[in-house]
Structure 1
Amino acid sequence: MSFLVLPPEINSMLMYAGAGSAPMLAAATAWDGLAAELGAAAQSFSSITSGLAGEAWRGTASTAMLSTAARYTGVLSAAATQAQSAAAQAQTIASAFESAVVATVHPALVSANRNELVQLVVSNLFGQNAPAIAAAESDYEQMWARDVVAMVDYHGGVAAAAAQLSSWSAAVQGLPAQASGATSANPVGTVMSSLNSAASGPGLGTLEHYAIAAINGPTEFLFGRPLISAGPAVGLGGAVNGGTATAPLTLYGGAEPLVNASVGGGAPVPLLVDTGSTGLVIPFQNAGGLLGTLQLGLPTGFGIGGYSGGINYLYATYNAPVNFGGGLVTSRTPVDIELFAWPASISAAMNHGLTFQSYFAPDGASGVLGVGPNAGGPGPSIATQALPAPYNSGLLINETGQHPYLQFGPPPTNLNPIATFAGSPIATLEIGTGPLGAIFPQYSVNAVIDSGGVSGTIPTGLNAVPGELISVFAPNGALLYSYIYDGTYFPTPSPYIMNTGALPFLAHPVYVSYSPSGVGTTTFYQ
């Protein structure tokens, strides 16, 4: 029913009830923040790709990359402009609402008028209240007219603001054409044929990645589903049996633990189980694409994150369920959904490509499940803490044996602990070098016990030489792992905090307790 025929009791109640202008003002702030982040991302991405093409990479492939990157930058800039417009119009709508509330009769005044009329009618035994009744009715009619005028003005202001806002759906519909334009202006086939002589070179895989990405882009953007599959569909393997909940692990490259999970309405994808970080980070294509992300509701925040100095990304934080299969599903929990990514440097672009997906492709992962309580980010919280009790208290990572797995919940009772110490993943370890160091460690170092750290790092202060025995102990003296430097294990020398890499997880089951909050506890078993 039109508000033109609604009495002031209804119109006034509708205007004064509810949350008021606060949600629209919050939306305006969020859109304004997104516009700023998108603009910064476009500027940074343009700078990196221009430098890459101008200094380190030339030729046909470089031209194709630069043209496609220019279109990508254009999309970022256009999205920033549209987000800024949305922020302005949201502010306009909020102002129009506040003006309409001021112009609308307060419901208490309408109620007082109606109560007065009832009293006058009840006591009008001899007609003595006729003038007062007429005055009350006149006041009521003026209230009705005032409310209608306020609503008409409000409707007109909101309609005008909405008309000035270009449609996001139009931008979405234009993406397939933009992808087509990128490939037709600089055909991937031409680039590929120009590199036939280098078919075994390292650049071919990257080119294939971008060719397939250009084809799959529209459907992945909208629905999170590719037209060309890169392999068999990923399944969920979680299981809940009584008080035990598990999920199988895949050791990619023999070192990197992957668990399959789905986020929101997205398809199952492999996630890197990373004790060296906190929070779940996943591209929006793997959360169901644009439509799946919109179904999660409004984001709770925006920001820029990064991994290992190689990739930076713009993200939005949404509350979404995470499903490991077999009924093992979290409640809605904060998840950082990557919107756009760009390499941190020219060398990073050369080594890892230009996208979030290409950065993690060598790890076999589509996203990162960070489970380190004191890692400090980049995500807001540990997703597995949103599992139902008792599965939310900790995580056992068991990469030993033929069937590696995760076990969610309290510490295992069927394994023998050899060392327990505060901090996960950042803790203090003892290191020894050479035969004597295998008995008496000579160094105490801060370290990141990092399941996703691959080969890790070794402190340059050890002055280790290739072929030397390196032994790493827990604070209680228990040997956690040992290796022959550059013989059986290949950590990178670094002056910064040591990263253990995968080796301790390959040698022992490791339990990460989420308690105490923000610190955690690490326990090694045998």
Structure 2
Amino acid sequence: MSFLFAAPDMLTDAARNLASVGSTISAANTAAAASTAGVLAPAADQISAAVAAILSQHGSAYQALSAQAAAFHAEFVRALGGAGGTYAAAEAVAASGLAAAQQDVEQEVLAAINAPTELLLGRPLIGNGADGTAASPNGRPGGLLFGNGGTGYSATAPGVAGGTGGAAGLVGSGGAGGTGGANAAGGAGGRGGWLWGTNGPAGLSALASGTVPLQMNGVFATVGVSVNGGPSVPLTVDTGSNGLLIPFWDIGLRQLGLPTQLGFVSYGEGVGFIYLNFNAPVNFGNGLLTAPTPVSVEILELPLSLNGLGLMLTGNVFAGGDGILGIGSNAVGPASSVVTALQGPLNQGVLIDEPGRYLQFGPNPLPGITVTGAPVTAFDVQINGGPLQQVLALVDSGGNQGSIPSSILETGQTSGPLPAGTTISVYTDGALTPLYSYTTTETNSPQVLSGQMNTGFMPFAQGPVYISYSPTGVGTMTFDF
């Protein structure tokens, strides 16, 4: 059996070259037209007349032959060019057929490979996960061995959250979360591969504000938080510090990346913590998910006092929580507040409503009295109706019963708890606008110290307090009661 090989591009080039030859022939015929189309008039003798007749016959024959040759050449060029086009079209059809056949074979092979894991686990062994739809908004997971997670569905209806991105398996990137509808949260991004890959980005949120429940453990408030896809664990809400501190066993370890900082921090209860900072997303629930932001992962606890040792032995280092959620603006801590990594306007601030048992992220929803500095600010304080005295104060939700400077007392007391029955009234600095007041009891009284004032939990127990992160690094606090 013999085979004919045709190269359409070569046929096209040949036709193009022959066309140029045809142009050359036409130019030659035009140049010869003058000498072949007409012969000069002969002399009067018979011989000249006979020669002229012969030459005229040859010229006419040349003109006819050249016209036939030009027509044949043009037809040949057209045929050759048409053959090239025909072969090219035939090759395109054959190639598309082969590609379709190859794709069909690939699909059949993948289907055979993925069938067992699809049946048993509901996900393929190899291949990308399907994107979310209106009926099933969450992206499907990628292949166990290789494949990216599907993209979450972007909602269009108001109040409908975006779908979550699908997770990758061993190798692959997580799917992107879908965009939320009006006044709805975006979906969380899918987890990246165990061996290689990146986490999918969270979907855009259209939330103007968002709330999460608070739990009270005595005088301390806790809120559930998930770090880097780990379990949701209670963290103690602390306005007196900055940054999130959490033990390493409470975070998701996949795609955590490399640490950015090694440090040491103590919160004043007699326990020190050695930590590593990582960039990781923080999820408060209800669609309130931050972009990757610095979080501090505790790797070792150290007792700094007998009180601290006692707290470590009783497992009460974080006052009922698994870690610390420091949400101050001008406080100190291992990192900045993770609230600022929420999507705007959720990152403007946070309302702590302990009587109402919730946190609300976003702009301040209530009217109130505002002071500059969050939590470090200046107050005028009055003890038992005495003179107003200016103090530097730390408005500290995690400060237990707090502390009072001995310098503003007229009793000479320098240590220990303030006696029960003492009335403490707090005003804005210089404006004499009352903020809050209370009378101490045997079980609720600040410690007398030589340093600055610490409000402890009392202002938060009386009503909502809002922390704003503007201006950056200073902030404001609004007493909304």
TM-score normalised according to structure 1 size: 0.49
Gaps of 5+ in 2: 1-204, 412-417
Please state whether the residue corresponding to 1:359 is helix, strand or coil.
Answer: coil
Gaps of 5+ in 1: 1-239
Which among 387, 398, 412 is matched to residue 353 of structure 2?
A: 398
Contact 1:261 1:322 in 2 (8 A): yes
How far apart, in 2, do the equivalents of 1:352 and 1:242 lie?
40
Partner of 1:336: 296
Partner of 2:329: 373
Which residues of 2 match residues 145-160 of structure 1 at below 5 A? Answer: none
Residues 398-430 of structure 1: per-residue CA shift (max 9 Å, x gap):
112xx3211101121xx331x211101010111
Residues 92-145 of structure 1: per-residue CA shift (max 9 Å, x gap):
xxxxxxxxxxxxxxxxxxxxxxxxxxxxxxxxxxxxxxxxxxxxxxxxxxxxxx
Displacement after TM superposition at 1:241 (Å): 8.4
Please state whether the residue corresponding to 1:392 is helix, strand or coil.
Answer: helix
Which among 223, 227, 237 is matched to residue 273 of structure 1?
A: 237
Partner of 2:421: 467
How far apart, in 2, do the equivalents of 1:502 and 1:358 lie?
18
Displacement after TM superposition at 1:345 (Å): 2.6
Contact 1:373 1:518 in 2 (8 A): yes
Which residues of 2 match residues 144-183 of structure 1 at below 5 A? Answer: none
Flag the structure with larger Rg.
Answer: 2
How far apart, in 2, do the equivalents of 1:252 and 1:500 lie?
18
Contact 1:283 1:338 in 2 (8 A): yes
Which residues of 2 match residues 110-509 of structure 1 at below 5 A? Answer: 242-253=207-218, 255-288=219-252, 292=253, 295-308=255-268, 310-349=270-309, 351-353=310-312, 358-360=316-318, 363-377=319-333, 379-400=334-355, 403-412=356-365, 415-417=366-368, 419-434=369-384, 436-437=385-386, 441-461=387-407, 462=409, 463=411, 465-475=419-429, 476-487=431-442, 489-509=444-464
How far apart, in 1, do the equivalents of 2:207 and 2:295 lie?
28
Contact 1:342 1:354 in 2 (8 A): no
Q: 1:307 to 1:354 in 2, by over 3 A?
A: farther
Please state whether the residue corresponding to 1:312 is helix, strand or coil.
Answer: strand
* Number of residue pairs the alignment of both structures matches: 269
Contact 2:235 2:323 in 1 (8 A): yes
How far apart, in 2, do the equivalents of 1:416 and 1:423 lie?
18
How far apart, in 2, do the equivalents of 1:469 and 1:347 lie?
29
Contact 2:244 2:323 in 1 (8 A): yes
Partner of 2:103: none
Partner of 2:471: 516
Displacement after TM superposition at 1:371 (Å): 0.7
Residues 470-515 of structure 1: per-residue CA shift (max 9 Å, x gap):
2122223232222223347311111111110111011121110101
Residues 210-233 of structure 1: per-residue CA shift (max 9 Å, x gap):
xxxxxxxxxxxxxxxxxxxxxxxx
Q: 1:309 to 1:397 in 2, by over 3 A?
A: closer
Displacement after TM superposition at 1:376 (Å): 1.9
Q: What amino acid is aligned across from residue 425 of structure 2 in structure 1?
A: S
How far apart, in 2, do the equivalents of 1:496 and 1:284 lie?
34
Displacement after TM superposition at 1:358 (Å): 4.0
Residues 183-225 of structure 1: per-residue CA shift (max 9 Å, x gap):
xxxxxxxxxxxxxxxxxxxxxxxxxxxxxxxxxxxxxxxxxxx
Contact 2:381 2:390 in 1 (8 A): yes
Contact 1:259 1:273 in 2 (8 A): yes
Residues 308-349 of structure 1: per-residue CA shift (max 9 Å, x gap):
051112111000110011211000000000011111134421
Residues 443-477 of structure 1: per-residue CA shift (max 9 Å, x gap):
11101000111211122221364322221222232
Q: What amino acid is aligned across from residue 325 of structure 2 in structure 1?
A: L
Displacement after TM superposition at 1:301 (Å): 1.2
Partner of 1:83: none
Contact 2:395 2:454 in 1 (8 A): yes
How far apart, in 1, do the equivalents of 2:286 and 2:300 lie?
32
How far apart, in 1, do the equivalents of 2:447 and 2:206 lie?
41
Contact 2:211 2:286 in 1 (8 A): no
**What percent of counterpart residues are identical?**
45
TM-score normalised according to structure 2 size: 0.53
Partner of 2:144: none
Structure richer in helix, relative to its length: 1
Residues 229-283 of structure 1: per-residue CA shift (max 9 Å, x gap):
xxxxxxxxxxx88422111111211x21111111013210011111100000001
Displacement after TM superposition at 1:385 (Å): 0.5
Q: What amino acid is aligned across from residue 362 of structure 2 in structure 1?
A: G
How far apart, in 2, do the equivalents of 1:341 and 1:334 lie?
20
How far apart, in 2, do the equivalents of 1:483 and 1:297 lie?
48
How far apart, in 2, do the equivalents of 1:416 and 1:303 lie?
39
Please state whether the residue corresponding to 1:512 is helix, strand or coil.
Answer: strand
Q: 1:344 to 1:331 in 2, by over 3 A?
A: same
How far apart, in 1, do the equivalents of 2:326 and 2:251 lie?
17
Q: What amino acid is aligned across from residue 514 of structure 1 in structure 2?
A: Y
Q: What amino acid is aligned across from residue 367 of structure 2 in structure 1?
A: N
Please state whether the residue corresponding to 2:308 is helix, strand or coil.
Answer: helix
How far apart, in 2, do the equivalents of 1:508 and 1:478 lie?
17
Contact 1:343 1:354 in 2 (8 A): no
Contact 1:392 1:408 in 2 (8 A): yes
How far apart, in 1, do the equivalents of 2:328 and 2:364 lie?
16
